[in-house]
Structure 1
Amino acid sequence: MDVAPILDLVGEPVGAALAGLTAGMIFGVSAEQSRFCLRAAAVEVARRQWGGRLAVWLLTFSTALLWTQLMDVTGVIDLETSRWLASPGTVTGAVVGGLVFGVGMILARGCPGRLLTLGATGNLRAILSGLVFAVVAQMSLYGVLSPLREAISGAWTTGGPNPHVLWELGLPASSGIAIALVFAVAALVIAFRNRVSLTTLFFGCGVGFAVAAGWFLTFTLYQASFDPVPVGSLTFSGPSADTLMFVLSSDRALDFDVGLIPGVAIAAFLSAWVSGRLEWQGWDGAGAMRRYLTGAALMGFGAMTAGGCTIGAGVTGGSTFAFTAWLALTAIWAGGMIADRLIDQRPAAASPAVPT
């Protein structure tokens, strides 16, 4: 795909932002329609329910895995140029950050991607929680929390490039496609047992496809641009902080990440509007407010320490089979399930009844 004429016309920064906007809009409408949420899936597993939200998450993950691995195996993209495989990974960051993020996800009743989607539909709780997440993420990257993050992340690293799980196990590259199909079959079995609608499954696939689209678009820009363009895909930790700084500062340039967040918000808003789901929602008391904002802060620090959020490390990073991405994803699941067990499953737990 030759995008050079487009980049010559609009410029590389605008072209990158448009790519982010495109991937974000695919994610936004798909996430809003499917109610994609890893927190809800983790809660189902923790409570041994194996319900529809788990089916949607598995289908999203398998779709991202399948398309990303297909493009990599066939040479459409080269995942070795991505930061997940080209740069050293942090083992302690993935474990500690993932656990912290998982706890925060339960407290905030949604991951950053879900909060952004809900915020676009009129959920004021999600909007404020998302802002807290972005501020703490920025503090963890460059601010007062940066030394703590660096100490945790630097305690144990992979040294060289992040190990590729399949290569370390001695498996051929094509085995990634087979693994994706296994996840897909599991998702469809669970979906069938829970009578999940075909529409929900379609849009669940759409969330995963958005991740694959992000890989394709950034790699295409990487090949065509004069200035270096990072090869990556969807994540909400860095882009949330970057978008916040873009709004607050005049020296922040347009790029893929800055286009991503508005794309998700616009598409989720339009999807909810067409479906009649736009509704203003506020707080359910001071206790709920403390819970949400604490969770958002934990997610902000955890995501930056782990190298990404449920989408960034979990689905985008996981689709590359980078070792620390899978480690972070496992830690996020574990942290979420433990937090649900200790906090929300207590007999006297005061968990706010908030739709997610």
Structure 2
Amino acid sequence: MLETLIDRFGDEGVLMLAGALVGVIFGASAQHSRFCLRAASVELTEGGFGPRISIWFIAFSAGVLLVQVSISLGILDVSESRQLAATGSMSGAIIGGLMFGCGMILARGCASRLLVLSATGNLRAIVTGLVLTLVAQASLRGALAPVREALAGLWLVPGGQARSLLSQLDMSSPVAATGAALALASGFWLAHRSEVRVSHAVAAAIVGGAVGLGWLLTYAIAQSSFEVIAISSVTFTGPSTDTLMGLVNSTKLPLGFGVGLVPGVFVGAMSMAILTREAHIERFGPDTPMERYLIGAALMGFGSMLAGGCAVGAGMSGGAIFAITAWVAVFFMWVGAMATHLVMGRISRRDAVAV
């Protein structure tokens, strides 16, 4: 079937269709589940293990489980993925992760959450997302690229086994899949204890499933094509920059998985918001100062390019294939977010006392 589709639409067209399918699934389930790393980090900082953490934990565990089961069954091979085969940056993962975590607290959402919120009518998210995308583009190929390259070059990790966490731990995919299954069960238990709606918990698992589906579809297309195709999965900063630059800087939008993913997420989230009557316009206000959002967007734009991906691209997609830089990046995203939330809380309390 894939060969027929490739013959008809070409490699790029089929990749775009695959991205759109994964995007719709991810967008709808992320909107319904309230999937958000920022919300989970805030909850943990305030001393709770409640609904937000359970949602993120279910999504992450489900993604790892599907990917590692697929590898164990021999229907997926991620060894040639960029996150494992190419040289990685540990310094980029640490510094970029901290910057991204700080930024998502200031902007009240990571790259994926901003895209989902944009589809529900949140004008703050649209403006913040555009700034994030522009800074990411400047960090990738523009004026900020030399700074990013200098920071990334401080501590490099060669591709191959040195970048695989499973290889470093001498752990097989079946063992990793078993651990993920136990973690997923724990996540559902925590969700039940936290009185999370069943539909939200299931939607969170589908978020992780979309990440796994992305790896499976791009791998299947790569295996069916005569061209060399890089396998990938859900990530937002890079595809958002490619989509935006293609729209404003070219008469023809270059097709690919990411170009289908971004509008797919938007359509999926918007459809779910309309279906559940949660779509409404939100603007900047006295309690949501624009300057804080813009600073957060800039930090996330640069941080994501330095870290090798956003909270989903590095944290979920890279984490599911056990790229060591991805696990380090998402860990420091948590650290940066929690530290920033603590600082913001102290500033708020100080200002309240001063008044």
Q: What is the TM-score with the length of structure 1 in the denominator?
A: 0.95
Match of 2:16 in 1: 17
Match of 2:106 in 1: 107
Match of 2:54 in 1: 55
| Distance in 2 between residues matched to 1:76 and 1:281, nearest whole Å | 44
Match of 1:35 in 2: 34
| Distance in 2 between residues matched to 1:278 and 1:350, nearest whole Å | 33
CA contact (8 A) 2:22 2:261 kept: yes
Measured against aligned partners, the alpha-carbon deviations of 1:70-124 in whole angstroms (never above 9, x if no partner) come to 1111111101021111111100000000000000010000001000000001000
**C-alpha RMSD over aligned residues:** 1.5
CA contact (8 A) 2:69 2:173 kept: no
Match of 2:258 in 1: 257
Specify whether residues 211 and 322 from structure 1 end up closer, same or farther in structure 2 by C-alpha distance, changes over 3 A only.
same
| Distance in 1 between residues matched to 2:346 and 2:76, nearest whole Å | 44
The alpha-carbon deviation at position 251 of structure 1 amounts to 5.0
Match of 2:294 in 1: 293
What aligned pairs does 1:178-189 form with structure 2 within 5 A after superposition? 178-189=178-189
The alpha-carbon deviation at position 344 of structure 1 amounts to 3.1
What aligned pairs does 1:62-141 form with structure 2 within 5 A after superposition? 62-141=61-140
Match of 1:229 in 2: 229
Residue identity opposite 1:60 in structure 2: A
Match of 1:243 in 2: 243
- Where 1:174 maps in the other structure, the secondary structure is helix
Residue identity opposite 1:120 in structure 2: A
CA contact (8 A) 2:23 2:264 kept: yes
Match of 1:169 in 2: 169
Residue identity opposite 1:284 in structure 2: G
Specify whether residues 321 and 167 from structure 1 end up closer, same or farther in structure 2 by C-alpha distance, changes over 3 A only.
same
Measured against aligned partners, the alpha-carbon deviations of 1:257-305 in whole angstroms (never above 9, x if no partner) come to 1110000001111110111111011001396100111101100000000
| Distance in 2 between residues matched to 1:14 and 1:113, nearest whole Å | 23
The alpha-carbon deviation at position 159 of structure 1 amounts to 2.6
| Distance in 2 between residues matched to 1:157 and 1:233, nearest whole Å | 23
Match of 1:272 in 2: 273
- Where 2:279 maps in the other structure, the secondary structure is coil
Match of 1:329 in 2: 330
Residue identity opposite 1:339 in structure 2: T
Residue identity opposite 1:153 in structure 2: A
Residue identity opposite 2:120 in structure 1: T
The 4+ residue runs of structure 1 with deviation greater than 4 A are: none
| Distance in 2 between residues matched to 1:327 and 1:179, nearest whole Å | 19
| Distance in 1 between residues matched to 2:351 and 2:304, nearest whole Å | 26
| Distance in 1 between residues matched to 2:60 and 2:165, nearest whole Å | 16
CA contact (8 A) 1:63 1:205 kept: yes
The alpha-carbon deviation at position 350 of structure 1 amounts to 7.8
The alpha-carbon deviation at position 345 of structure 1 amounts to 4.7
| Distance in 1 between residues matched to 2:229 and 2:131, nearest whole Å | 28
Residue identity opposite 2:281 in structure 1: W
Q: What is the TM-score with the length of structure 2 in the denominator?
A: 0.95
| Distance in 1 between residues matched to 2:123 and 2:335, nearest whole Å | 28
Q: How many residues align?
A: 350
| Distance in 2 between residues matched to 1:38 and 1:281, nearest whole Å | 21
Specify whether residues 345 and 44 from structure 1 end up closer, same or farther in structure 2 by C-alpha distance, changes over 3 A only.
farther
| Distance in 1 between residues matched to 2:201 and 2:241, nearest whole Å | 31
| Distance in 2 between residues matched to 1:186 and 1:339, nearest whole Å | 28
- Give 5+ residue unaligned stretches, structure 1: 352-356
The alpha-carbon deviation at position 184 of structure 1 amounts to 1.1
Specify whether residues 349 and 9 from structure 1 end up closer, same or farther in structure 2 by C-alpha distance, changes over 3 A only.
farther
| Distance in 1 between residues matched to 2:351 and 2:71, nearest whole Å | 46
- Give 5+ residue unaligned stretches, structure 2: none
- Where 1:11 maps in the other structure, the secondary structure is helix
For structure 1, which segment, 213-222 or 248-257, has the greater mean C-alpha deviation from structure 2 after superposition? 248-257
What aligned pairs does 1:297-308 form with structure 2 within 5 A after superposition? 297-308=298-309
Match of 1:45 in 2: 44
CA contact (8 A) 2:84 2:159 kept: no
- Where 2:79 maps in the other structure, the secondary structure is helix
Q: Does 1:155 align with 2:145?
A: no
Match of 2:192 in 1: 192
CA contact (8 A) 1:107 1:292 kept: yes
CA contact (8 A) 2:139 2:302 kept: yes
